A and B are shown apart, each in its own frame.
Chain A
């Protein structure tokens, strides 16, 4: 089974609007971490936000927030007030327990329309 599932290959959003990128995960480990990374066309992976499985509150980092629904095993990324520079690939990832390995989803290509 896929550890991380991103069902939206591509998304479009109007500039200044909010957008939600979906991510579901699969693990039997009670301790895990969920991450979102942004990959612009240059290829670098930029860390956006982190959510720990034991965190009580949803993570927020500036315009990024993570809608963590533990029972549904979902960790959707919400980008508010989209900007043209937000156009990129977005990857959801998970790390289980104390392990080092990251499992990545297939990514969502976001295009912000002026």
Chain B
């Protein structure tokens, strides 16, 4: 079946630095990918929709300058958390929709900002 690979699975960074998270569709082309944030024991919150070749669409309340999204190819979207702060610590997960109904999810990235 379709597979979405997300890297890294876990990252610890210092406050003020930037962190890049990659999301790849391994066996299908994804013109649209989604980035979610999940706090402990809570649901997935959609942050933005990443569109290949154009600007991402951000949900209300999500800072576009803080969470930079680039969808440079049909198989790769990246989320960069810029100038990270401890409150950015969270679980970030991407998804992509192949042909058909369902969305496939990456393995998620647990970000800890110290």
Q: Which residues of A contact B101 (CB under 8 A)?
A: 33, 35, 50, 52, 95
Instruction: Identify which of A13-21, A22-30, A72-80, A104-112 touches chain B.
Output: A104-112
Known contacts A43-B107, A106-B42, A106-B43; A100/B102 CB under 8 A:
no
Q: Which residues of B contact A91 (CB under 8 A)?
A: 43-44
- Secondary structure type dominating chain A contacts: strand
A101 touches B34 (CB 8 A): yes
Q: Which residues of A contact B102 (CB under 8 A)?
A: 35, 47, 50
* Most central of B91, B95, B105, B106 by chain A CB within 10 Å: B105
B43 touches A107 (CB 8 A): yes
Give the A-B contact count at a CB cut-off of 8 A: 51
Known contacts A33-B101, A44-B108, A47-B104; A105/B93 CB under 8 A:
no
Q: Which residue of B lies closest to A37 (CB)?
A: B105
Q: How near does chain B come to A67, taking the closest CB pair, in angstroms?
A: 19
Chain B residues touching A, range: 20 to 34
A100 touches B44 (CB 8 A): no
- Say whether B56 faces chain A, with CB atoms less than 8 Å apart: no
* Most central of A100, A104, A107 by chain B CB within 10 Å: A100
A45–B44 Cα distance when bound, in Å, is 10
- Say whether B110 faces chain A, with CB atoms less than 8 Å apart: yes
B34 touches A104 (CB 8 A): no
Known contacts A50-B102, A100-B97; A43/B41 CB under 8 A:
no
The B25-75 residues at the A interface (CB cut-off 8 A) are 32, 34, 41-44, 46, 49
Which residue numbers of A lie inside 8 Å of B, CB to CB?
Answer: 33, 35, 37, 42-45, 47, 50, 52, 89, 91, 95, 100-102, 104-107, 109
Which residue numbers of B lie inside 8 Å of A, CB to CB?
Answer: 32, 34, 41-44, 46, 49, 91, 93, 95, 97, 101-108, 110
